[in-house]
Chains A and B, each alone.
Chain A
Amino acid sequence: MKLLTKTTLYHIILAISVFTIGGGITFYKVRGYIQEDLNQYFDALEERISTRIEDGEEIKSRRVQLSKLETIPPMAQDTIIDTTFYNGSWHLPLKKKIVYRDINGQAYRIGMYKSFEEGEDRLEAVVGTVVFLGFTFLILFLLFNYYISRRIWGPFNYTLNQIKQFDLREQKPLEFMKTDVQEFKELNQLLTVMTHKIQQDYQNLKEFTENASHEFQTPLAIIQSKLELLLSNNHLNDEQARLIQSAYQATSKLSRLGKALALITRIENQEFQDVQQVDLSQSLENTVFNFQELVELRDLSLDSHIEPGVKIRMAPLLADILLNNLIKNAIKHNLEGGSIQLELKPQYFEIRNTGPKPQGDPQEFFIRFRKGNQASDSLGLGLAIVKKICDVNHLSIDYRYEDSLHRFRIFFPDEERI
Chain B
Amino acid sequence: MKILIVEDEWELAQSLADYLQKEGYLCEVVQQLEQAHEKVQLYAYDVIILDITLPDGNGLDLLKKLKRDKKEAGVLIVSARDSLQDKLEGLNLGADDYITKPFHLAELNARVNSVIRRRIYQGNQEIVFEKISLNTDTREVKVNESSLVLTRKEYELLIYLLNNKNRVLTKEAIAEHLWGEGIDEADSFDFIYTHIKNLRKKIQDKGGDNYIKTIYGMGYKFTSV
Cβ-defined contact, B15 with A232, below 8 A: no
Question: Among the listed A229, A255, A263, A328, which residue makes an inter-chain contact with B15, where contact means beta carbons less than 8 Å apart?
Answer: A229
Contact B217 A214 (CB under 8 A): no
Q: For residue A91, give the distance in angstroms from its CB to the closest CB of chain B.
A: 97
A307 to B19, CA, bound (A): 49
Q: How far is the CB of A396 from chain B (nearest CB, A)?
A: 24
Chain B residue with the shortest CB-CB distance to A227: B170
Residues 70-102 of B contacting A (Cβ, < 8 Å): 80-85, 100-102
User: Would B217 and A218 count as touching, CB distance under 8 A?
Assistant: no
A residues in contact with B182, CB < 8 Å: 324, 328
Chain A residues 301-340 with CB under 8 Å of chain B are 317, 324, 328, 331-332
Complexed CA–CA distance, A135 and B53 (Å): 78
Residues of B within 8 A of A242 (CB): 217
A379, B105: Cβ atoms closer than 8 Å? no
Question: Does B185 touch A at the CB level, under 8 Å?
Answer: yes
Q: Hey, what's the 0/1 contact readout for B140-157 against A, CB within 8 Å counting as 1?
A: 000000000001010000
Taking the nearest CB of chain B, how far is it from the CB of A212, in angstroms?
A: 12
Contacts of A209 in B (CB 8 A): none
The segment out of A102-110, A111-119, A163-171, A244-252 that lies at the interface is: A244-252
A377-B102 in contact given A222-B9, A228-B170, A241-B217 (Cβ < 8 Å): no
Of the stretches B39-47, B119-127, B130-138, B186-194, the one at the interface is B186-194
Chain B residues, Cβ within 8 Å of A294: 179, 183, 187, 191
Q: How far is the CA of A249 from the CA of B191 in the complex (A)?
A: 18
Q: Are A218 and B106 in contact (CB under 8 A)?
A: no
Dominant SS at the A interface?
helix
Q: Report if A256 contacts B (CB, 8 A).
A: yes
Chain B residue contacts of A266, Cβ below 8 A = 83
Q: Give the complex CA separation of A262 and B190 in angstroms.
A: 28
Contact with A along B185-212 (1 / 0, CB 8 A): 1110011001000000000000000000
Contact of A259 with B12 at beta-carbon distance under 8 Å, contacts A228-B170, A379-B184 already known: no
The complex places the Cα of A300 from the Cα of B185 at a distance, in Å, of 19
Chain A residue at minimal CB-CB distance from B179: A294
Chain B residues 139 to 181 lying within 8 A of chain A, measured CB to CB, are 151, 153, 167-168, 170, 172-173, 179, 181
A228, B104: Cβ atoms closer than 8 Å: yes
Indicate if the CB atoms of B153 and A218 lie closer than 8 Å: no
Which residue of the partner chain B has the closest CB to A297? B191
Q: At the interface, yes or no: A378 with Cβ under 8 Å from chain B? A: yes
| Chain A 191-228 interface 0/1 with B at a Cβ cutoff of 8 Å (1 = within) | 00000000000000000000000110110111111101
Cβ contact of A248, chosen from B12, B22, B151, B172, cutoff 8 A:
B172
Binary B-proximity of A359-397 (CB < 8 A = 1, otherwise 0):
000000000000000001111000000000000000000
* B63 proximity list for chain A (CB < 8 A): none
Cross-chain contact B104 with A259 (CB below 8 angstroms)? no
Does A293 belong to the interface (CB within 8 Å)?
Answer: yes
Contacts A332-B184, A332-B187 hold; do A228 and B12 have CB atoms under 8 A apart?
no
The docked-state distance in angstroms from the alpha carbon of A279 to that of B194 is 34
Check A229 against B105 for contact (C-beta < 8 Å).
Answer: yes
B18 at the interface (CB under 8 A from A): yes
Contacts of A130 in B (CB 8 A): none
Inside 8 A of A72's CB, which chain B residues have their CB? none
**Nearest chain-A residue to B167 (Cβ)?**
A232
Which residues from chain A contact B217 at a C-beta distance below 8 Å? Answer: 241-242, 245
A214, B170: Cβ atoms closer than 8 Å: no
- Interface residues in B18-76 (C-beta closer than 8 Å to A): 18-19, 22
| B104–A224 touching, CB < 8 Å | yes
Distance between A121 CB and nearest chain B CB, rounded to angstroms: 89
Interface presence of B112 (CB below 8 A)? no
Complex-state Cα separation, A317 to B182, whole angstroms: 13
> Are B172 and A222 in contact (CB-based, < 8 A)?
no
For A223, what are the chain B residues with a Cβ–Cβ distance below 8 Å? 102
Known: A218-B80, A266-B83. A245 touches B104 (CB 8 A): no
A231 at interface by CB-CB < 8 Å: yes
The residue that A214 contacts in the complex, of B18, B80, B85, with Cβ under 8 A, is B80
B103 at the binding interface (Cβ < 8 Å): yes
Q: Is the beta-carbon distance between A259 and B80 smaller than 8 angstroms?
A: no
A229 with B186: CB separation less than 8 A: no
A223 and B100 alpha carbons, distance in the complex (Å): 15
Q: Which residues of A contact B18 (CB under 8 A)?
A: 229
Task: Give A269 Cβ to nearest chain B Cβ, in Å.
Answer: 11
Extra pairs beyond A231-B218, A232-B22, A297-B194 (18, CB < 8 Å): A217-B102, A218-B102, A222-B12, A222-B15, A225-B15, A226-B11, A228-B15, A232-B167, A253-B185, A256-B181, A259-B100, A259-B181, A266-B83, A294-B179, A294-B187, A332-B187, A376-B186, A377-B185
Q: List 12 A-B contacts (CB under 8 A).
A: A217-B101, A220-B101, A222-B9, A222-B12, A224-B103, A229-B19, A229-B105, A271-B83, A293-B191, A328-B183, A332-B187, A377-B184
Interface of A toward B, CB cutoff 8 Å: 214-215, 217-218, 220-226, 228-229, 231-232, 238, 241-242, 245, 248-249, 251-253, 255-256, 259, 262-263, 266, 271-272, 293-294, 297-298, 317, 324, 328, 331-332, 376-379
10 tightest Cβ-Cβ pairs between the two chains A and B: A221-B102, A225-B15, A377-B186, A217-B101, A221-B101, A217-B80, A220-B102, A252-B172, A222-B11, A255-B102
